[in-house]
Amino acid sequence: MSATGLSAEANGKQSGASRLRRHTALLVIVMAALIVLALFPSFAQPYYVTLVLPAFAYAIALLGFNLLFGYTGLLSFGHALFVALGAYGAAVLTSKLGIKSFELILLASGLAAVVVAIPVGLLAVRYVRIFFGILTLAFGMLFHSFLFKFYNITGGDTGIRVLRPALFGNEFSDLDKTAFLIGPFYYYCLVLLVVLGFVMWRIVHSPFGLHLTAIRENSRKAEYLGVRVRMFRLAAFLISAFYCAVGGVILAINTGQADPETAYWTHSGELVFMTVLGGFANFFGPLVGAFVFIFLKSELMSLTQYWRFFLGVTLALIVILFPRGVMGVAQDLWSKVKKKQ
Amino acid sequence: MQNKRRTLLKAIGGAGATIAAQPYLSFPAIAQNTPVRVGIIAPKSGIVGTIGECGLRGTQFAVERINAAGGIAGRKVELIVEEETNPKDSIERLRKLVLQDKVDCVQGIVSSGVSLAMGAVAEEMKALLVFWDGTTQDGVKETMPNARYVFRSTDNECEAVMASLLAIKYWKGQFATVAGINPDYSYGRNNMAAFLALLKKFNVDAKVVAEQWPKVGTLDLTTHVAALKAAKPDLVFSSLLFADLPIFMRTAHGAGLMDGKTKFVFPGAGFQHTLLKKQFTPEGMIFGHNTLYFASDNASPLQRLFVKEYEEKYKDYPHWEADRAYFAMQVYKAGVEAAYKAKNAWPSKEDVISSMEGVKIESLGGPGHMRKDHIAEQTFYQGLTTHKNRYDFATLGQVDRMYSDQLQKPPGVDFWKWIETAQIKL
Amino acid sequence: MTSFFDILLGGVFHAAVLFLVAAGLQLVFGVQKIVNLACGSFYALGAYFGITSVNWALAAGLPPWMFLPVLIVSGIVLGAIGPAIEALLRTIYARDEAFQLLLTFALVLMFQDVLRFFWGPNPQQLSNLVTEYGRLSIGTFSVSTYNLLVIAASIVIAVGIGAFLQRTRFGRILRATAENREMSQALGVNVRWMYTSVFTLGTILGTVGGALVVPTAAASLDMPVELVVEAFAVVVIGGLGSMRGALVGALIVGLMRAAAITFYAELEILAIYLVVIIVLIARPAGLFGKPIE
């Protein structure tokens, strides 16, 4: 899989000065985006602010997903499984076990996802490419059926209620749900995104991350060099599961319900769609993809009843014409601008 | 340190509260020529797409007549239609309708999973929401014991209760073994459980010889039918109600299961009634048409008009979702008009809600009212099938009519306890 | 005994239809290495179009008992979309498989609304034409003739594909291209034309499958996404790219499903997943698949 953006970052073949320049420019853009996001609730209409929450959730989930897809080269069509695990984790903890601490919910759901990801991953990383995609699709649907069948535990088709969590011990009970969501919860999730994003940045730039890229480029060569390919793939799989579960927790709190359709394979397809839309070859691609997709889908749903068709067309255009997604287009434009200078 | 953190968090919360409160704060003077905006959330695709379509047609019929007569308290009704998909996306549409489009009322929803999640959200948003359908027992108990802003339809299990009562009334003593083939989700499970509970209550000694739980919308039921046939039941109870119902009918007929020795009870047959062709749908089966039986002899002029217009426009015959949608719109209209009259000015949301509680209206299918606990009561129609009609599908020969106060639990009572202890008449 | 036979036949019937769809998947994967997520969409299209064709033919005066040939022909006619879609997929052959999978997912999204646009949200069915062929009775056994015909048709097609791949020149070239595309091209094979034909054939298998199942079932809007799961289970069990795998996999899935429904109705679909996992642990490439590196 050719993803020149990623390997160039990893190569470090540029000069020190230009690297510093690039990093500074990057930092400025990221800071600007964060400031916009932080100020968003004060100037945007409440509905659009509520849309940013699923965008946060998917952004976090996709950071993990892209570790597996963009950096390790494994396309999973079943990662909605882990998003659903996060959602149901939040549901069970808040409404069945009475645990309200958001921090505890995040940790527990994330760990639950990792625990489930171990056997699934062990089986799945034996395969690559298409096989990996089909297998993960099957596992995702297995979980979906499980959620339906064991309705006494999982609530079946209606799912389980997700109650409002306490952020650092504070339930903000004087605020109604919408105020809670676009107020303290919004900022908490923004900070969570920044923190988890930073962690992921360190992961992909660490020796571990470089190994993943090497495995993606040429797994046989990596094997010869002593890299235990399967272990690394499994590790990436587990990390991606954790991130997806965190995204699932945020989604579930936003909706107030964990339902089995979260685990359906077309939802996994949406995860891939968002990642590719934003640009899988760029660290920030998935984040951009999450935001663009959420707003695009909402606008399309308001405009036409055939929104699925137009989403499909968008995906087809991206795949055929703009495979490196929005960030790819942005990078191309940036290079053109720089060339002119 | 603790206090500083709390104050900071509270400040952020306060900012959020102010922002969130904006849509609900002001009630500007409403000019008589601005329309009443009603948001509709109904499915358009997938297995329930056909149900959403019929419901929407009911809403459109209601709105056309309301607007032709001058609107609700003089203001015309404007519809904004959104699609119901899964809980997460449907809630986003609700938020858009309430926060962005600032509708006065939201109506719709067919799926029980979505209604559960959406009800809680609407309550928290203080948004006036009238459900068409999708009311299940467990959900209501947990999430909306005391709904303030949300109004619910009759219980999903009403048709199962009525069908069971009819089965006992017509066939008690004629069956010793029963089998069930029901869709594998809360609706199917609750219906079958209600049937068995009622058999027990009326001391009908029947052994369950087979229970099939096909996945919702399964299109291949050959094996299920074969397994049912092998169990040799005297009576089959089936709450199948999507595309799988006509398939089951055809397959069962083809396999010889409908040769007259087995009795059939279909509480939800009305949804697919036009697909249940005479060739494979014998007479003498119990069919449920819920709140609208299109060919009722005692139909009101309103219903006759609706059915006639529906037939001309859509070359089809309506089922009860159209009535549910019509009912929702009428309840809202009645509430607004009563509150307007009492106040002599445009009523607030709380005024409307108070007026909607207890309001009686005439729906397409017959009389109905909204209980004080925000659960609807409507007239239900079920009966035995017949071929003596001018259509190519089976209709009802013998029609039984029951008001839902005999079919669903009264306010504040648990459904299963009610079945056990209440005085339910046959 | 009667019931056992009924159940067995039910399972085989389900397997027959699954085989057609899986065969289409395997053919396309074997040669072009594309896994088509839109296989369910073709199946649904075949179902809807089959209904329209039969209704049209009946209105035009065709005797009812001829509906089966009409269904098959309508499925084949739909193959016309094959080249167009293949041309679309061709734009990204050079790219990674992930993109090909994604493009087929885009097709799934588009098809959902295309189906709704043309046929509306109501499920469609053919009125009781199945009874035209009546039932075959041997002693106490009674089975729907139509179901037997569909099973027979599947067997014929299975044998036909086998013979085609093994005996004909085109089949040999096809297998060679599947093994080694560059070599085939170097030897003068018009790979482009081969790809188009194979994809069209794969499409036809899916649309005919949908058309054949519709008299006993219905055409509904959730068919496209639901079928993919079962079809994938079949190819995973059977082994990607293997025709024999499609046949055996379909039989296993069909019979397992029938067994689950009969003996432990709660399991149904979970039973199939269980088999998938067991097969994968025991034989990672599926029963007849080639070992993966």
pLDDT digits (tens, 9 = 90+) for C61-103: 888 888 888 999 999 999 999 999 999 998 888 788 888 889 9
Query: Once rounded to an integer, what is the mean pLDDT over residues A103-124?
Result: 95
Residue type, A82: F
Asked if residue A220 has pLDDT above 80, the reply is no
CB contact under 8 A, C130 and B254: yes
pLDDT digits (tens, 9 = 90+) for A62-85: 999 999 999 999 999 999 999 999
Report residue C287's pLDDT band, with 50, 70 and 90 as the boundaries. confident
| Contacting residues for B65 by C-beta, under 8 A, at least 6 apart | none
User: Closest to C110 (Cβ–Cβ): which among A142, A269, A313?
Assistant: A313
| Euclidean distance between CA atoms B141 and B138, whole angstroms | 5
| Euclidean distance between CA atoms B370 and B396, whole angstroms | 28
**Paired strand residues for B386:** B395
Place of tokens 């137009």: A310
- Calculate the alpha carbon distances from C41 to A127, A306, C113 in Å: 27, 16, 11
Residue C102: which domain range? 2-222
Q: What is the pLDDT of residue B259?
A: 85
| Euclidean distance between CA atoms C153 and B68, whole angstroms | 58
| Euclidean distance between CA atoms A194 and A30, whole angstroms | 10
Whole-number percent of chain C with pLDDT over 90: 37
Q: What is the pLDDT of residue A10?
A: 46
- Calculate the alpha carbon distances from B95 to B83, B131, B328 in Å: 13, 16, 20
| Euclidean distance between CA atoms B129 and B149, whole angstroms | 6
Other CB atoms within 10 A of residue A165 CB: 22
| Contacting residues for C24 by C-beta, under 8 A, at least 6 apart | C36, C39, C42, C201, C202, C203, C204, C205, C206, C209
Mutate to test the interface with C, among B185, B209, B213, B219 (most CBs of C within 10 A): B219
CB contact under 8 A, B243 and C218: yes
Q: What is the pLDDT of residue A94?
A: 94
Name the minimum distance, in Å, from the CA of C292 to any CA of chain B: 34
- Calculate the alpha carbon distances from C61 to C65, C74, C134 in Å: 12, 17, 21
| Closest chain A CA to residue C265 | A149
Q: What is the pLDDT of residue C81?
A: 92
pLDDT digits (tens, 9 = 90+) for A266-275: 999 999 999 9
Q: What is the mean pLDDT of each run of 10 residues along chain B (426 residues)?
A: 49 47 43 86 90 95 95 94 94 94 95 89 93 78 76 92 94 93 90 94 92 88 89 94 91 86 94 90 94 92 95 94 96 95 91 94 94 93 94 92 90 85 80
Residues of B in contact with A183 (CB under 8 A): 12-17, 19-20
| Euclidean distance between CA atoms C15 and C154, whole angstroms | 9
Partner chains of C (3+ C-beta pairs under 8 Å): A, B
ipTM rounded to 2 decimals = 0.90
| Closest chain A CA to residue C271 | A142
Among B264, B217, B219, B215, residue whose Cα is nearest residue B237: B264
Q: What is the mean pLDDT of chain C?
A: 87
Q: What is the pLDDT of residue A293?
A: 97
CB contact under 8 A, C280 and A123: yes
Q: Please state the domain count of chain C.
A: 1
**Residues of C at the B interface (Cβ-Cβ below 8 Å)?**
2-3, 6-7, 9-11, 13-14, 17, 112-113, 116, 120-123, 125, 127-128, 130-131, 135, 142, 144, 147, 213, 216-218, 220-223, 226, 257-258, 261-262, 265-266, 268-269
Asked if residue B244 lies in contact with residue B218, where contact means CB atoms within 8 angstroms, the answer is yes
**B141: exposed, middle or buried (C-beta count within 10 Å: 0-12, 13-18, 19+)?**
exposed
End-to-end CA distance of chain C: 47
Q: Considering the domain boundaries, does residue C248 fall inside one?
A: no
Whole-number percent of chain A with pLDDT over 70: 95
CB contact under 8 A, A305 and B83: yes
pLDDT digits (tens, 9 = 90+) for A283-327: 999 999 999 999 999 999 999 999 999 999 999 999 999 999 999
What DSSP string describes B412-424? Answer: T--HHHHHHHS--
What is the number of CB-based contacts under 8 A between chain A and chain C? 116
Enter the DSSP assignment of B189: H
Q: What is the pLDDT of residue B9?
A: 46
Return the sign of the alpha-carbon dihedral for residues C262, C267, C269, C273. negative
pLDDT digits (tens, 9 = 90+) for C146-193: 888 999 999 999 898 888 888 888 888 888 877 777 777 788 778 888
- Calculate the alpha carbon distances from A42 to A46, B100, B122, C58 in Å: 9, 16, 23, 64
Report residue C261's pLDDT band, with 50, 70 and 90 as the boundaries. confident
Q: What is the pLDDT of residue B75?
A: 93
Distance of CA B210 to the CA centre of its chain: 28
Alpha helices in B26-80 (DSSP H): 49-68
| Euclidean distance between CA atoms B400 and B423, whole angstroms | 19
Query: Once rounded to an integer, what is the mean pLDDT over residues A190-198?
Result: 96
Asked if residue A224 has pLDDT above 80, the reply is no
Report the half-sphere exposure of A315 (CA within 13 A, side-chain side).
29
Residues of A in contact with C98 (CB under 8 A): 1, 69, 75, 129, 133
| Closest chain A CA to residue B121 | A256
Q: What is the pLDDT of residue B96?
A: 95
Q: What is the pLDDT of residue C113?
A: 94
pLDDT digits (tens, 9 = 90+) for C227-244: 898 898 999 899 888 888
| Euclidean distance between CA atoms C273 and C38, whole angstroms | 21
Q: Considering the domain boundaries, does residue C252 fall inside one?
A: no
Partner chains of B (3+ C-beta pairs under 8 Å): A, C
pTM: 0.90
The count of residues in chain B is 426
Asked if residue A95 lies in contact with residue A154, where contact means CB atoms within 8 angstroms, the answer is no
